């Protein structure tokens, strides 16, 4: 058989990371590109997510950093003339886009063949009705359901199916209108609301409490099929699998159950005609073993990324080969290198995944979890007992707990067990600890007793640990249950170090085991490793040549995302190209860095002080790189250094000097570099006094927190008082830091690499929003467009001073405020920052490659890199996930809120900005604007000329009262819409909900959220109804300029290579 | 639980824990199985007679033990069990007792807390070997203890075969089922077809009775020991009626045809063995449990290889070119394991 397929293949990426669609698609896209390249197939990738590995110069033959929409792809197809397209590697975005291209006849017209699963099959899996019908044909059960068009029908249907029922909105707005319904009264209410928005709803049998099980399936065009992995949810049906703790393989299924579901999975894949990879989700009745199929995803998914990492079976790579026409038995098992891809991995370890949430970052968002995704990332852990894997995973979450025993008290654990929140696991543990029974908890949560009783085992061990002396036998036992040295220390009132020392004197250390896909049955050369205390022997010996350990990023969360995976992978590639063995440690399954072909050895492990030391003790590395994995890795620099391990690059004491506010501030003073006035305070009086001294507004924050968590701007003494009350309850151990908040200041950043205190390369980028929008949320342009030359000169000079003073070797990032050429430094990170991939790809110089050379003491080839005079412009824009976080206020402020980013390159500033905006899935499709600008007049005036131009260009403008009046005064025609609270028509509510507008501009008063205001209602409505929304004045201004001056249909598609050469 | 050892023929010992009731030293041939579930089916599979079974999956016993009608035979046949962790907190609606309770009831020794991966690698490198679970002699003594008897020299098939002929169903076609240690699920699979099933002991000469087809079951140990069964089978060949063999049955068919068998270094025991159906050029995933295999170059003319192992290329089944005789080394009845090859029973029935 072999490759019969196309010569040039278009691959659709997934765009910016957002809740429900995160880094896993960098993994799948990257593997697809590797697989295609092996077969000498030319690849064209479209993905505006610049922070990914797949958009690296070494990956696809052609790369388009462009929005993923029909117009753009059509242009790219016309230009590139691919003969095949892959839709299954870029998540739901790519799949939907592919379906749209097919429906509009574009693929047919340009003779582009959809590779892998045919579109007809995809359509069936995407349409609930068709899907149920298709499965009924082969006698596979799906949840009973009745489609209804009226409330009366709904009531009748519910009676038939019996309460509680699951209501699903046929045409659903981000899951709006779906959920569990207990009785007729609620049904009447909810059904009538839902039928208001949709012609039809589905009344479905509610399967809450059934086991939720998934299988990953691969099938080739010759009908060879295997299920690569199955997974069981700790949280039963009712909690989305993406929100559930998941174990692999399933733990509580009998052989018969396992194989009934496996056989069904194969029948379904066969019946649908899947070619490549798909995922099937089941509900399994724990009392009767009956089952239902919930859905099939005919594409790579988050679960398939997890399954790949859990088993070592490279699903995406294999799926890409299958799409080219290969058979499973023609593809090699890339771990054993001897056997083929037609087999099902046998695991001899247990894998636990836990989602990572950041809900608390959004003050008004609901903490409860359910059938919709809210988590922003996940971690995976490998061990040889459930508690061991679970506790490793808990630590990997990086939420400040050293194990399950170490969570802050929860006020009402029972409530959070019954109505799950992001911390249900800890609530269960606490409830068990206070003596409640497994039976009661099972009753409240329906979580299988198997899982609960393991938690009980840990509770009992914790008790024993409290009471008994810490002898070797006890240490061994608690280690087998996954207790960390730190957790043991907390219980025994000793330091982590003391426990470690004690442990080492008794020779109690974890063993290193391999993941080999065949449970040891075949000799395998695998470099995929984990550690466990359930073992007496290492599978491997230490690396022959002293390796370099690279610490990865840990879980994706707000503030730390795929950009750090890009940094880690690029560091590993550079280190290997310089002939040093590279070891990666990471705990995040949604990454490329955990593909075992990206390094010499991969430790899928927690990024904790303890485990990194364990690995370093075993491997005896030449050094450890802490500066490419974001803040988790960076925070390990000093403890590892203190414990005597070699940290590569800048001296960890200097890293600490930059991290510590006092020492850094003193350093700036010494260097005569200006900084916003600040003070660390412990009493409210002191704070007020400071406010009086320097004047409001003030920026208030607890010290040592990443990405502005709990940061706030206050505009007067009252706000200050209220906020401090909140913040101190938030973190009682930390004093509060208050700075003078500089209004209307420009913000800029320097990303760079230095070698022993002198700069090798640096790039200055400019924020479009004024300071006050977190640098992780801000729109960033490179090269800078509107900075004074003097500003650039000054920032460069400052950077040089700091670099010299801290004797920086390696990557760094400095953030500045600039107001009228007056430059202040706000912070300096002695590590790669989130903008490293952006500056690397826009300038064409790989900053991480240069940094890696410096880190291993190789002098960079040159120090003369052009990063300012570029013949094009790059704009990076943040991707938010407000849609998923019901109730959150969609306004960017000093606390970071975005979950991802995109970047586009244009011939000029506005073009790049417009493309980037479109790439955040906010394409403006018509010419109807709703504008509502609050606050003092003067803010509105700026927009008058722009709005006039817009009107002239044929736009239809609606405005709320104040804004409308001003427009009228200036002779600009607009329709007045009432505010939500006015309850009169025409109203903003109907205007937005009924999609009568194509763009909403609402600029709130301060950057401060007030949720009960009319402005909040407008913003939330826009987000909930997928209407593009602008909330920042600087963005509004430039975007309106784009709308009036750009010929939007005429923007050419230019590839990254074309720009750079 | 108390300290225990797994003693191996090569003088390596693994320490672990055993339940208090165990006080003896229990020898057997130490083998490993890589299946992640299906411990009930495996432990009650008569093919494990004489063996100490190591599970490579670290958590065994998660769903407890169901009632005997769901087992593969009336009792546990393995002589001992080696695991990393025996789960006491089992949970399942079909469960009745825990794994440890069951083993105690059945007087089958277990050792837990063993680094089963290290053990598996050792068996893979040195081949399966004799060993014993020890709770009798001291740790020190155990290091030099060396009184192993090879169970493969015993009449294992004789021990596990039924004593008396047994008849199931009353269909028009009559199938002789030669029980060399037959798994119950084979009976269940064949019962799906309208046939009379006559289950006979391994040494029963069925050629004197009328029959429409012969089925040769799985079973323990070295096939070359089953001389009687082979003699009878040779006679059965002359009737030219359909014959279907599974596992040991496949080896017996090869031996009766004139081929030879050999002992694999560490056998195939697991649920993920990929095989190629050579005629259809189609891949199937199979469940396996065997220590012996057919020597390919001894397969006589007139026979061909119908299935081949995709991992090591070994013979996974043979068939006669002209007569309706075929066999597979794997377990189409699954239980435990994948059900990809169930159709073979249908194929057999349709040949009758
Ligand atoms: N009928 C049902 N009863 C109870 N919970 C359900 C039902 N259907 C789905 N769910 C829950 O909702 C989650 C999401 O549903 P699913 O159909 O898988 O949508 P998605 O496309 O978001 O994955 C599932 O993971 C499951 O936990
Ligand atoms: N003194 C200040 N005046 C105005 N804006 C500020 C000031 N300090 C910080 N900011 C804004 O707050 C954001 C976050 O502050 P920063 O110190 O960079 O926090 P983090 O450590 O989370 O990156 C900055 O990107 C900037 O927009
Ligand atoms: Mg779930
Ligand atoms: Mg789903």
- Enter the tokens of residue A946: 């722009």
pLDDT top residue among A461 and A861: A461
**Host H or E run for residue A381:** strand A377-383
Residues of B in contact with A449 (CB under 8 A): 89, 91
Contacts of A683 (CB under 8 A, 6+ apart): none
Between A256, A448, A519, which is nearest B34 by CB?
A519
How far, in Å, CA of A949 to CA of A940, rounded?
A: 15
Q: What is the pLDDT of residue B17?
A: 97
Query: Secondary structure of A953-1017 in the HEC alphabet?
Result: CCCEEEECHHHHHHHHHCCCCCEECECHHHCCCCEHHHHHHCCCCCEEEEECCCCCCCCCCHHHH
Q: Please write the tens of the pLDDT for every residue from A979-1024.
A: 888 888 888 888 998 889 999 999 887 645 455 678 888 999 999 8
* Sequence-ordered strand ranges (E) for chain B: 2-8, 13-18, 25-33, 51-55, 59-60, 80-82, 85-86, 110-111, 129-134, 166-168, 173-179, 195-201, 213-216, 243-246, 261-277, 282-294, 303-309, 315-320, 325-328
How far, in Å, CA of B62 to CA of B60, rounded?
A: 6
State yes or no: pLDDT of A878 exceeds 90.
Answer: yes
Q: What is the pLDDT of residue A706?
A: 35
Interface contact A519-B117, CB threshold 8 A: yes
Interface contact A343-B285, CB threshold 8 A: yes
Q: Whose CA is nearest to atom 8 of ligand 1?
A: A294
How far, in Å, CA of A444 to CA of A842, rounded?
A: 53
Mutate to test the interface with B, among A259, A452, A453 (most CBs of B within 10 A): A259
Q: What value does the mean pLDDT take over residues A653-661?
A: 93
Interface contact B272-A252, CB threshold 8 A: no
Nearest to A548 by CA among A617, A648, A653: A648
**Residue A739 beta carbon below 6 angstroms from any ligand 2 atom:** yes
Q: Is A537 on the interface with B (CB under 8 A)?
A: yes
**B214: distance to nearest CA of chain A, Å?**
28
In ligand 1, the atom with minimum distance to the C-alpha of A208 is: 4
Q: What is the pLDDT of residue A993?
A: 84
Residues B90/B67, Cβ–Cβ less than 8 Å: no
Looking at chain A, the whole-number percentage of residues with pLDDT higher than 90 is 81
How far, in Å, CA of A173 to CA of A168, rounded?
A: 11
Q: What does each C-alpha distance from A404 to A420, A517, A612, A792 come to in angstroms?
A: 17, 29, 20, 49
Q: What does each C-alpha distance from A104 to A925, B169, B176 come to in angstroms?
A: 17, 60, 63
State yes or no: pLDDT of A408 exceeds 70.
Answer: yes
**Residue A12 beta carbon below 6 angstroms from any ligand 2 atom:** no
Residues A689/A721, Cβ–Cβ less than 8 Å: no
Instruction: Report pTM.
Output: 0.96
Half-sphere exposure of A934 (CA within 13 A, CB side): 17
Torsions phi, psi of B266, nearest 5?
A: -135, 15
**Host H or E run for residue A815:** strand A810-819
Q: Please write the tens of the pLDDT for every residue from A769-811.
A: 999 999 999 999 999 999 989 999 999 999 999 999 999 999 9
Q: Whose CA is nearest to atom 22 of ligand 2?
A: A707
Q: What is the pLDDT of residue A863?
A: 79
Between A226, A250, A521, which is nearest B270 by CB?
A521
Interface contact B283-A329, CB threshold 8 A: yes
Q: What value does the mean pLDDT take over residues A148-169?
A: 92
**B254: distance to nearest CA of chain A, Å?**
26
Relative orientation angle of helices A961-969 and A944-952, to the nearest 10 degrees: 80
Residues B226/B159, Cβ–Cβ less than 8 Å: no
Active site residues of B: 247, 331, 333
Residues B75/B44, Cβ–Cβ less than 8 Å: yes
Q: What is the pLDDT of residue A100?
A: 96
Ligand nearest to the CA of A172: 1
Residues A555/A588, Cβ–Cβ less than 8 Å: yes
Residues A410/A416, Cβ–Cβ less than 8 Å: yes
Please report the residues numbered 220 through 239 in chain A whose beta carbons come closer than 8 angstroms to any beta carbon of chain B: 222-224, 226
- Cα of first residue to Cα of last residue in chain A, in angstroms, is 40
Ligand nearest to the CA of A125: 1
Peptide bond into A906 cis (omega under 30): no
Q: Is B337 on the interface with A (CB under 8 A)?
A: yes
CA of B75 to the centre of ligand 2 (A): 71
Residues A875/A912, Cβ–Cβ less than 8 Å: yes
Give the confidence band of A197 by pLDDT, cuts at 50, 70, 90. low
Residues A932/A1015, Cβ–Cβ less than 8 Å: yes
Give the confidence band of A647 by pLDDT, cuts at 50, 70, 90. very high
Interface contact B91-A534, CB threshold 8 A: no
Q: What is the pLDDT of residue A727?
A: 63
Q: What is the pLDDT of residue A171?
A: 45
**A141: distance to nearest CA of chain B, Å?**
19
Contacts of A995 (CB under 8 A, 6+ apart): A1025, A1027
- Cα of first residue to Cα of last residue in chain B, in angstroms, is 54
Between B120, B274, B337, which is nearest A342 by CB?
B274
Please report the residues numbered 35 through 74 in chain B whose beta carbons come closer than 8 angstroms to any beta carbon of chain A: 35-38, 40-41, 56-59, 62-63, 66, 70
Q: Please write the tens of the pLDDT for every residue from A581-620.
A: 999 999 999 999 999 999 999 999 999 999 999 999 999 9
Three-class SS state of A853: helix
Mean pLDDT, chain A, rounded, equals 93
Q: Is A329 on the interface with B (CB under 8 A)?
A: yes
Interface contact B89-A450, CB threshold 8 A: yes
Q: Whose CA is nearest to atom 7 of ligand 2?
A: A741
State yes or no: pLDDT of A307 exceeds 80.
Answer: yes
Residues A844/A1060, Cβ–Cβ less than 8 Å: yes
Q: What is the pLDDT of residue B259?
A: 97
Between B56, B85, B310, which is nearest A342 by CB?
B310
Interface contact B282-A342, CB threshold 8 A: no
**Host H or E run for residue A839:** helix A836-843
Give the confidence band of A2 by pLDDT, cuts at 50, 70, 90. low
How far, in Å, CA of A102 to CA of A120, rounded?
A: 10
How far, in Å, CA of A48 to CA of A14, rounded?
A: 8
How far, in Å, CA of A431 to CA of A268, rounded?
A: 41
State the virtual CA torsion across A933, A936, A942, A945 in degrees, nearest 10.
Answer: 70
Q: What value does the mean pLDDT take over residues A362-381?
A: 88
Q: b or e along A139-158 (b: 16 or more beta carbons within 10 Å of the residue's beta carbon)? A: ebebbbbbbbeebebbbebb
Torsions phi, psi of A761, nearest 5?
A: -150, 150
Nearest to A911 by CA among A67, A35, A61: A67
**A344: distance to nearest CA of chain B, Å?**
5
Q: Is A522 on the interface with B (CB under 8 A)?
A: yes
Between B38, B70, B117, which is nearest A348 by CB?
B117
- Enter the tokens of residue A422: 């992001």
Residues B10/B128, Cβ–Cβ less than 8 Å: no
Q: What value does the mean pLDDT take over residues A711-723?
A: 88
What parts of chain B have a pLDDT lower than 70? none
Give the confidence band of A3 by pLDDT, cuts at 50, 70, 90. low
Q: Is B285 on the interface with A (CB under 8 A)?
A: yes
Mutate to test the interface with A, among B126, B188, B272 (most CBs of A within 10 A): B272
Give the confidence band of A702 by pLDDT, cuts at 50, 70, 90. low
State yes or no: pLDDT of A463 exceeds 50.
Answer: yes
CA of A553 to the centre of ligand 3 (A): 26
Q: Whose CA is nearest to atom 5 of ligand 1?
A: A238
Interface contact A344-B59, CB threshold 8 A: no
Q: Which residues pair with A511 in a beta bridge?
A: A532
């Amino acid at each position: 058989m072999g490759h019969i397929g196309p010569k040039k293949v278009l691959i659709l990426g997934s765009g910016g990371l957002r809740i429900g669609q995160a880094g896993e698609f960098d993994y799948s896209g990257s593997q697809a590109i590797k697989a295609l390249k092996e077969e000498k197939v030319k690849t064209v990738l479209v993905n505006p997510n610049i922070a990914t590995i797949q958009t690296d110069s070494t990956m696809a033959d052609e790369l388009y950093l462009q929005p993923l929409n029909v117009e753009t792809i059509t242009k790219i197809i016309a230009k590139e003339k691919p003969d095949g397209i892959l839709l299954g590697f870029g998540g739901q975005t790519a799949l939907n886009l592919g379906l749209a291209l097919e429906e509009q006849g574009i693929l047919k017209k340009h003779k582009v063949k959809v590779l892998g699963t045919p579109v007809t099959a995809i359509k069936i899996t995407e349409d609930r009705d068709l899907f149920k019908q298709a499965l009924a044909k082969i006698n596979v059960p799906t949840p009973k359901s009745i489609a209804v068009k009226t409330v009366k029908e709904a009531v009748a249907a519910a009676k038939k199916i019996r309460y509680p029922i699951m209501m699903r909105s046929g045409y659903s707005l981000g899951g709006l209108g779906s959920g569990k319904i207990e009785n007729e009264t609620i049904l009447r209410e909810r059904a009538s609301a839902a039928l208001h928005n949709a012609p039809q709803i589905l009344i479905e049998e509610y399967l809450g409490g059934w086991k939720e099980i998934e299988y990953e399936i691969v099938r080739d065009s010759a009908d060879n099929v295997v299920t690569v992995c199955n997974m069981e949810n700790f949280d039963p049906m009712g909690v989305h699998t993406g929100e559930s703790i998941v174990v692999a393989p399933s733990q509580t299924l009998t052989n018969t159950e396992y194989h009934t579901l496996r056989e069904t999975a194969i029948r379904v894949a066969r019946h649908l005609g899947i070619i490549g990879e798909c995922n099937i989700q089941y509900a399994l009745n724990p009392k009767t073993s009956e089952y239902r199929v919930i859905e099939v995803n005919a594409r790579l998914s988050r679960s398939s990324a997890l399954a790949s990492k859990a088993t070592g079976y490279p699903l995406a790579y294999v799926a890409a080969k299958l799409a080219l026409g290969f058979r499973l038995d023609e593809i090699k098992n890339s771990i054993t290198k001897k056997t083929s891809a037609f087999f099902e991995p046998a695991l001899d370890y247990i894998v636990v995944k836990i989602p990572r949430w950041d809900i608390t970052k959004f003050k008004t968002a609901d903490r409860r979890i359910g059938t919709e995704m809210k988590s922003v990332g996940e971690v995976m852990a490998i061990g040889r007992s459930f508690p061991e894997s679970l506790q490793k995973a808990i630590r990997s979450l990086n939420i400040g707990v050293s194990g399950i025993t170490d969570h802050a008290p929860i006020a009402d654990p029972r409530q959070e067990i019954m109505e799950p929140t992001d911390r249900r696991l800890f609530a269960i543990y606490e409830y068990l600890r206070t003596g409640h029974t497994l039976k009661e908890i099972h009753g409240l949560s329906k979580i299988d007793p198997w899982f609960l009783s393991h938690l009980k085992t840990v509770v009992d061990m914790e008790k024993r640990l409290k009471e008994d002396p810490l002898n070797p036998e006890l240490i061994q036992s608690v280690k087998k249950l996954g207790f960390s040295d730190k957790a043991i220390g907390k219980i025994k009132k000793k330091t982590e170090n003391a426990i470690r020392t004690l442990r080492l004197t008794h020779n109690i250390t974890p063993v290193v085991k391999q993941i080999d896909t065949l449970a040891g049955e075949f000799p395998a050369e695998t470099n995929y490793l984990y550690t466990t205390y359930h073992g007496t022997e290492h599978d491997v010996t230490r690396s022959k040549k002293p390796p370099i350990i690279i610490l990865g990023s840990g879980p994706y969360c707000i503030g730390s995302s795929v950009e750090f995976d890009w940094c880690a992978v690029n560091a590993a590639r550079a280190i290997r190209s310089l002939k040093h063995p590279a070891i990666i440690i990471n705990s995040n399954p949604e990454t490329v860095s955990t593909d075992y072909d990206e390094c010499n050895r991969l430790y899928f492990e927690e990024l904790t002080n303890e485990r990194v030391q364990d690995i370093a003790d075993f491997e005896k590395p030449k050094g450890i790189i802490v500066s490419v994995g974001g803040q988790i890795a960076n925070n390990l620099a000093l403890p590892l250094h203190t414990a005597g391990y070699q940290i590569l690059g800048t001296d960890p004491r200097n890293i600490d000097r930059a991290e510590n506010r006092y020492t850094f501030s003193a350093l700036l003073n010494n260097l005569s570099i200006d900084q916003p006035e600040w003070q660390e305070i412990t009493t409210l009086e002191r704070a007020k006094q400071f406010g009086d001294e320097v004047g409001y507004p003030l920026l208030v924050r607890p010290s040592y927190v990443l990405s502005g968590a709990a940061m706030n701007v206050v505009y007067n003494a009252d706000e200050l008082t209220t906020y401090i009350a909140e913040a101190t309850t938030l973190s009682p151990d930390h004093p509060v830091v208050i700075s003078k908040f500089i209004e209307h200041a420009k913000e800029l950043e320097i990303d760079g690499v230095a070698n022993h205190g002198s700069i090798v390369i640096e790039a200055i980028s400019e924020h479009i929003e004024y300071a006050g929008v977190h640098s992780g949320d801000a729109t960033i342009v490179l090269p800078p467009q509107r900075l004074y030359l003097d500003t650039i000169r000054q920032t460069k000079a400052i950077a040089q001073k700091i670099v010299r003073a801290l004797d920086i070797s390696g990557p760094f990032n400095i953030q500045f405020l600039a107001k009228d050429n007056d430059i202040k430094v706000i912070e300096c990170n002695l590590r790669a920052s989130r903008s490293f991939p952006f500056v690397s790809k826009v300038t064409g110089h790989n900053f991480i490659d240069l940094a890696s050379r410096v880190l291993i003491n190789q002098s960079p080839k040159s120090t003369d890199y052009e990063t300012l005079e570029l013949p094009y412009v790059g704009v990076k824009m943040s991707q938010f996930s407000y849609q998923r976080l019901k109730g959150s206020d969609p306004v960017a402020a000093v606390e970071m809120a975005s979950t991802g980013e995109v970047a586009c390159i244009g011939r000029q500033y506005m073009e790049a900005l417009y493309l980037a905006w479109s790439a955040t899935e906010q394409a403006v499709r018509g010419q109807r604007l709703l504008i509502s600008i609050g606050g003092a007049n003067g803010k509105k005036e700026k927009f008058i000329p722009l709005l006039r131009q817009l009107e002239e260009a044929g736009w239809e403008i609606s405005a709320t009262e104040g804004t409308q009046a001003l427009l009228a005064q200036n002779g600009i025609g607009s329709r007045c819409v009432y505010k939500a609270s006015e309850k009169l028509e025409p109203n903003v509510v109907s205007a937005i909900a009924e999609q009568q507008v194509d763009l909403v501009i609402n600029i709130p008063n301060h950057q401060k959220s007030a949720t009960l205001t009319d402005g909040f209602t407008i913003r939330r409505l826009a987000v909930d109804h997928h209407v593009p929304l602008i909330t920042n004045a600087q963005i509004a201004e430039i975007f309106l300029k784009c709308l009036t001056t750009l010929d939007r249909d005429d923007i050419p598609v230019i590839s990254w290579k074309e720009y750079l050469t | 639980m108390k300290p225990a050892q797994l003693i191996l023929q090569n003088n390596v010992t693994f320490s672990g824990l055993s339940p208090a009731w165990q006080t003896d030293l229990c020898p057997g041939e130490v083998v490993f199985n890589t299946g992640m579930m299906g411990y009930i089916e495996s432990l009650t599979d008569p093919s494990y007679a004489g063996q100490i079974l190591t599970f490579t999956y670290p958590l065994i016993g998660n769903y407890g033990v169901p009632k005997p009608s769901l087992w593969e035979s009336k009792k546990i046949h393995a002589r001992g069990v080696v695991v990393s962790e025996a789960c006491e907190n089992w949970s399942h609606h079909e469960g009745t007792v825990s794994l440890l309770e069951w083993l105690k009831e059945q007087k089958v020794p277990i050792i837990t807390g063993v680094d089963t991966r290290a053990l598996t690698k050792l068996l893979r490198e040195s081949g399966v070997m004799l060993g014993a679970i020890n709770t009798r002699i001291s740790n020190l003594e155990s290091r030099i203890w060396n009184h192993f008897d090879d169970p493969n020299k015993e009449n294992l098939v004789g021990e596990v075969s039924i004593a008396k002929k047994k008849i199931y169903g009353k269909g028009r076609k009559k199938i002789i089922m030669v029980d060399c240690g037959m798994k119950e699920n084979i009976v269940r699979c064949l019962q799906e077809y309208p046939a009379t099933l006559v289950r006979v002991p391994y040494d029963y000469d069925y050629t004197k009775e009328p029959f429409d087809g012969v089925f040769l079951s799985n079973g323990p140990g070295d096939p070359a020991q089953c001389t009687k069964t082979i003699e009878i089978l040779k006679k059965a060949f002359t009737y030219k009626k359909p014959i279907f063999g599974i596992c040991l049955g496949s080896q017996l068919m090869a031996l009766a045809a004139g081929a030879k068998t050999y002992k694999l270094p560490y056998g195939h025991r697991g649920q993920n063995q990929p095989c190629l159906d050579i005629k259809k050029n189609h891949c199937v995933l199979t469940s396996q449990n065997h220590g012996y295999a057919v020597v390919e170059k001894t397969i006589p003319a007139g026979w061909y290889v119908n299935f081949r192992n995709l991992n090591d290329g070994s013979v996974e089944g043979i068939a006669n070119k002209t007569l309706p005789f075929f066999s597979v080394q794997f377990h189409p009845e699954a239980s435990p394991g994948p059900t990809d090859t169930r159709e073979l029973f249908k194929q057999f029935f349709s040949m009758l």
